[in-house]
Structures are given as C-alpha cells and as structure tokens.
Structure 1
Amino acid sequence: MNKMTSKERVLKALNHEAVDRVPIDLGGMACSIHDEAYFKLKEYLHIKGDIEPIRKGSTCNYYDERILDLLSIDIRRVFAKSTGEYPKYYEDGSFVNEWGLVQKPGKFGMEMVKHPLENAEIADLDTFNWPKAKDIIDVSNMKQRAKEIYEKGEHALSMRAPLNGIFEIACWLRGTETFLCDMLLEEEFAHKLLDKILEVQIDFYELMLDEVGPYVDIVETGDDYGSQNDLLISPDCLRDFILNRRKILNQKIKLKAPNCKIFLHCCGAIMKCIPDLIACGVGVLNPVQTNAKGMDPKELKTKYGDKLCFHGGIDSQKSLCGDISDIREEVEKMLTIMNTNGGYILTSCNHIQNDVSPENIIEMFHFAKKFSSQQ
C-alpha cells in the first residue's frame, strides 16, 4: 500500500477504510501527558526552550508540537486560550474555576473542596453566575491556526474540548452523591440544572466552531459514565437525563462543523450504553478502557467496528508502566484486533501518567508504526 499523509491516514481510519499504518495520537482530551512526564520526555528528546501552557489548574497543561513532529503524530489540535480570569488562586494553594468549583492539588490529581450548588434550591438556578464563553475563552487566533493546518493538508485537525461533560459538571456543582439523589428524588431540579449546563456547553462550542468549524475533522467532547465495573447510573437514567441532551449538543456541533466526526471521551465499563452513544451522534469513542469489566476489544470491534472509530486502547494502568515487552505485547494485541479496515487510532488509554518513562512512550508509538506497517 502506498504511503499516506497523516491526514489521509486519519480520514481513512475515521471512515473505516484500510490504512498504510495505524494513525497515532497524543495531546487530546484524555490522551495527553501529565506535566512531570512531559518534562521528562522533552528532556529525553533534547528539546530546548519552554512553551506557554495551554491552560492552568490541571495535571496536563502542555501541548508541544515539537514532540508531535518528532514522534510522527498524525493529528494536530486547535484550542481556545483562557482569558486569564480563571482559575483564581487562594493563599492555601486551592483555586476556583469558572463554575465556582473550588479545588486543590492532591496526590493523584485535583481534589474537590467546595461544590457551589450543593445547598441550592431550584430558584437559585436562575440567579447562579453561569459561565459565558466570551468571558472565559479567547478564540482570537483559532481560525488562523486552523486554516493554516487545513490548507497545508499534512495532518488531520481536531478541536479540543473547551470544557468537561454535562454529567461531570452537574456532579461538580452539586457533589456526586447529591446529584445522583437529585435524579431520583428531585427530578425537576435535576432537569433544570442539566438544561442550564447544556446552554453553557452550546455557548462554548458554538463560539469556537464559528471560528474553526469548516476546517476540523474531529470535534472532541467528554463525559465519564463508567466505573471499572459498570455504568455509574442506570441506562434508563443515562438516556433520560444525559444522552438526550448530548444528542442536542452533537446536533449543534454538526451544524457548525458538518464534516467532522464527534469524539467522546468516556471512561470505564460502558458497553451497555454504546448503542445509545452511537444513536446520539458519537463517531469516535475514547479511551477504549479494555481492562474495565465487559470491555473486551474483540466484542467492541465485532459489534461496533463499522459504526465507531476507536481511539486509545493502550493500557496505561499496567502495560505502559511495564517493560518493553509489555508494551509491544499490548500494542500488538490491540492492533491485531482493532486495526482491520481502519476504524482505529492508537494512543494511550487515558492520560500518560508521571510513572511512565520517556522510553516507554516512544516505544509505544515506534512499535505501533512498525507492526501496523507489516499487517
């Protein structure tokens, strides 16, 4: 098979067509690098000079195209910058984001300190200070960058998600236990809260897509519905409260970016809801957490491989922390199952953690290119 450009390779994978080698990705929603691992990799690759972080208040704050070039990553991203108003830091090291959620750094990431609507009544939802996209994000350079990548034609282009998902934000605002009870005991409140969050979601996506919609191949979204063993809420509850709103958001995205595939990051054991995700417009599923219960990659590919492009799949809990043979075994397994008739973009199954060495990151991508070229 003739060698493809990165863009050709990704587009064929998205459309379930054969590729010359598997497309590879790094730097998107849930496939980025924790800061400590980023600086180790940057040093290992002898990259000099610092870049500005793309955001603050997270564990993964850098998107360095110099690394992407050296590793032959097939996708490039555009994203909005913060206006600088948030996060606002306090003297004790905690900070508040644009939703009023107070967090602090913890051992494994950011820990939540205060939920701004934990004691709210339904009337409070009309007076809450809901984020407005124009006040929070700066889109001034997005169109120029997107057009440049699009016209150059070398790489596929993804728009990185501007904010977390509908369900996640509801749990932020109320506290997870409280919001789960809301859906059972305070349905009117729960529906109104979710409608307000959806309005904010649409506002953010439309502001960004007004700049880059004609140029993007992928638009990223995210919302976690699964634990390691099952869905966090019942399928009926998920449909009634969350996925009908996700369908509306996806429809709004497609109006602004008609040629894009909609990417959803959704962790955990989510096999039960995959048909519903497809029905509401999802075309790319990440992170393909195959060590979660019921997420067998063969079953995923057999049942949904003609409807979804799978993105991720390389175990970040064990394999990426192991030795070279562990990485090669994991990559070969996933490619043998997933990389038939396209439909697969290889990357880590969630963010690359600080305990993953630069050598292991490089080997994952190097071996994936080598093995898939021979398939």
Structure 2
Amino acid sequence: MTPRERVVKALSHQETDKLPLDINPILNTGIHVSTLHKLKVALGLISEKEPVKVVDPYQMLGEIDNELRKALGIDTVPLMPYKNFFGFENTDWKPWTFFDGTPLLVPGKFNTTPDANGNIYQYPLGDTRFPPSAKMPKDGFYHDAIIRQKPFRDEDLKVEDQIEEYTLLTDEELSYYEQESKRLYEETDYAVVFGGVPGTNLGDVAYVPGPALPDPKGIRDVEEWYVSLVIRKDFVREVFARMTEIGLENLRLLYQAVGDRIQVIMISGTDFGSQNGLFISREAYRELFKPFHKKINDWVHQNTSWKTFIHTCGGVYELLPDLREAGFDALNPVQISAAGMDPEKLKKDFGAYFTFWGGSIDTQKTLPFGSPEEVKEEVRQLISIFRPGGGFVCAPVHNIQANVPVENVLAFFEAVNQYR
C-alpha cells in the first residue's frame, strides 16, 4: 500500500496495512526549527553546523524534506502556500543563527536585524518601509502578532476593510499550484495536503491582526474581534458571507488548476475550544459559522474528491455534532488533554464520522516533560484506542514545540512505527 493509498483509506474509515503518519508545517502538525535541527542531527541526516529551513516564519516551523520523510515513515507531503503568513515568498534563502544557536536558512525578506534590545521584527510583505506586524522577543522561539488597531466607530465599519487580505488567487499563484501539485502527485506517492485558499478561514484570529497588510483597517484587535461575535453579529455575518463568496470562487479556481491531485484541504483553522471547554457557544457557532462552513464543505464534496480538514484546539466535544453536520471530514489536533476530550469517548461517539488527524501524543505535557518510556506508552495506548475501524491519521497534538528533549521526539517516532 502506498502512502497516498494509506491516507485515502484512512479518510474513508477503512483499516490500512499500517496507520498513516503526518508531519508537516501547514496542518499544525509541524516541528519547531530548533527541535527539528536536533532531530535531524540525532538521525545522522545533517551535521550540527548544517542549517534547516524556516518555512513558516510565524510559528518558526521547519521544512520536512524527503530525506526526513523517508527516515520517519511520513505518508504526507504539503503543497506549500505560494506566500507565507507575512505575505512574502519563501525564496532567496539566506543564513541566520537563531537565538539558541540553531543554524537556519530563512527567506530573503525575513528580517534578521535585531533592535537595540535584541528583538526581531517581521514586516508585511517583508517590506521594512511599513510598520512591523510581528515581534519575536530576544531569546524567544516564536513571533507574536503586533496589534495595529486604529480607533473606529461602529457606524464606520466596512466589510471591504475587514476582508482586504482575502483576494482571488492570481494567475501566477494558480500556475504555481498547478505545476507544484503535478510534481508532487506524479513524482511522489505521498498524499498531497493543502493548507487552504483565501476566504474559507472564517474568524481565524491568527489572521485578524492582518500580518500581511501594510495598513490594516477594520477590527484588528483580537479581543475586540471576539467581542464582535457577541455585539456585532450582523457585521460579522456579512463579513463571513463575503469571505465565503471569495472562498468558493478560489476553490473553483484551485480545482481547475490542481484537479484531484490533492487529497486533503484545510478549510478552517479557527479555534473554537479552550483548555476547559468551548470558547464559543454552540448557538453562536450555529448562527455565525455553521451555515458558511456547510456551504463550503458541500461545494468541495459535490465538485471534487478532496476531503476537508478542520483544525480547532481545545475541548470541542460538545461542538462535534455541529462540525459533523457542517460536513468536515477530518478533525485536528484532537487535543486529548482538554476538557471532555477523552479518547475512548471520542472514538466511540464520533469515530464513524471524523477521521481523527492527531491525538497520538500530548504535546503539552507528556512529550516535553515525560520520559521516553512514558512517551512510548502513551503512543501505544492512544493508537490502540483510535486505530480500530480506520479513520485515524497519526500526528501529535499540534506542532512539536521548541525545547522538547530530542530523546522524547525519537521515542515518539519509534513508538509510532512500532505500533502503527
């Protein structure tokens, strides 16, 4: 069975010769560059002085190359976005040494010049003429969005300001996706996964501050946006309606370019849960999100062979009936440590409806703070729960973070390949 066949069967809730494994930087199953470098050194794939590439500058996730993919037994390959989170291309690579000493290659427009205090700033479109949109504190590991909220009056809010960044895919972008998807599909046997098109990621607060916009307008403060879900419902609903129109047209354009060469597409990365339960009421989800999610998922299922993927952290058990009715195929990250997210209950109640894409190891506690033996035992237990009947793709609960002992990372992959 090829990796692609393995993933397709898992998404169809069929058992496979072995469980598919996904590690990549576009579905929130990536690896922080510092940990990735240590992993590749430990596996003998690079020397300590050789760099790894930063392909997601915001989360500082590293490139999973074919050599590592083969070494770990990964079954997926990402169709990388044409531009990154800050709106510039991952090209013209240049060397940079991370705060912790990790040798890296970063895109040419990635700012590596610190301020007087040693902080690093990133700029929209990689253009330092604009105010910065993100900051990595000295000795930090990730970028934090910079809120550039301007004063506004409710009567002056405009939908077009709120959706400025959600534009139709250009001919240049579509040509790239056509050529790259063809290369990945024809030259590899991996399942091709795609991070999504502009317009479908309704209310994703990672994008609310407008990190790729030189001069963001509208509601760009994260707290104010969450408040808006309660006090500005009509405006939010109109924003989502316009985004959905753009998203559907982009899906149509994308399908014309890539056809059925991708197997999975991420539709939403909006977090609806917190550590202790839902972050939004079921009523608010049904009113503001669900009709548009269903419209998007229905289009995909009626016009393509793709499966749709939702990433939502936290304790979302109570929302799963609605996500099912909205038409999502795969659920990630399956945050088993959050309230209500008991693995056995998830599998029993929703295993026939969702492919659980994640949930193979707790990345908050066990992976960073447990022993290698504890890591292996947790992987064994979770696989034994999620595996029966198919509908499971092995992946950690969210990205593997910085400062995770490399021994534990090795133990995770050893256990996955032992029990899968």
Per the normalisation by structure 2, the TM-score is 0.78
SS of 2:17's partner is: coil
2:76 corresponds to: 75
- Superposed counterparts of 1:206-217, under 5 Å: 206-217=252-263
* Counterpart in the other structure of 1:160: 195
Question: Does 1:232 pair with 2:232?
Answer: no
- Distance between the aligned counterparts of 1:281 and 1:209, measured in 2? 19
The AA in structure 2 aligned to 1:31 is T
Give the residue type in structure 1 aligned to 2:298. Q
Larger RCO, structures 1/2 (Cα 8 Å, 6+ apart):
1
* Counterparts of residues 216-295 of structure 1 (less than 5 Å): 216-221=262-267, 222-254=269-301, 258-295=304-341
- Are 2:23 and 1:23 equivalent residues in the alignment? no
| Distance in 1, Cα, partners of 2:341 & 2:4 | 29
Choose between structure 1 and 2: higher helix proportion: 1
Quote the offset at 1:184 in angstroms.
2.4
1:30 is paired with a residue whose SS is coil
- Kindly indicate whether the alpha-carbon contact (under 8 Å) linking 1:94 and 1:102 is maintained by their aligned counterparts in 2: yes
SS of 1:94's partner is strand
Aligned mates of 1:156, 1:356 — CA distance in 2: 28
Partner secondary structure for residue 144 of structure 1: helix
Whole-angstrom CA distance in 1 between matches of 2:197 and 2:66 = 19
Deviation at residue 86 of structure 1 after TM alignment:
2.7
2:179 is aligned to 144
Q: For 1:302, what is the secondary structure of its paired residue?
A: helix
Instruction: State the shift of 1:331 in Å.
Output: 0.6
TM-score computed with the length of structure 1 as normaliser? 0.86
1:105 paired to 2:136: yes
| Residue aligned with 2:61, SS | coil
Once the 2 structures are TM-superposed, how far is the Cα of residue 203 of structure 1 from its aligned partner? 5.3
Percent identity (aligned): 26
Contact 1:247–1:280 at 8 Å: present in 2 too?
Answer: yes
After superposition, the Cα gap between the structure-2 partners of 1:142 and 1:135, relative to the gap in structure 1 and judged at 3 Å, is: closer
Q: CA shift at 1:152, angstroms?
A: 5.1
Out of 355, 361, 366, which is 1:319 matched to? Answer: 366
SS at match of 2:401: coil
Q: 1:187 to 1:371 in 2, by over 3 A?
A: closer
Q: What does 1:174-189 correspond to in 2, within 5 Å? A: 174-189=220-235
Deviations 1:202-260 (A, max 9, x none): 4554444432232111112321110001111111001111222222232343455x111
When structure 1 is superposed on structure 2, of 258-267 and 101-110 the one drifting more is 101-110
C-alpha RMSD of the superposition: 3.0
The corresponding residue for 1:306 is 352
Task: Name stretches of at least 5 consecutive residues in structure 2 with no aligned partner.
Answer: 89-108, 126-130, 210-218
Q: Which letter does structure 1 place at the counterpart of 2:196?
A: A
Question: In 2 relative to 1, CA 239–171 (structure 1 residues): closer, same or farther, beyond 3 Å?
Answer: farther
Q: 1:54 to 1:177 in 2, by over 3 A?
A: closer
Pairwise CA distance, 1:159 = 1.4
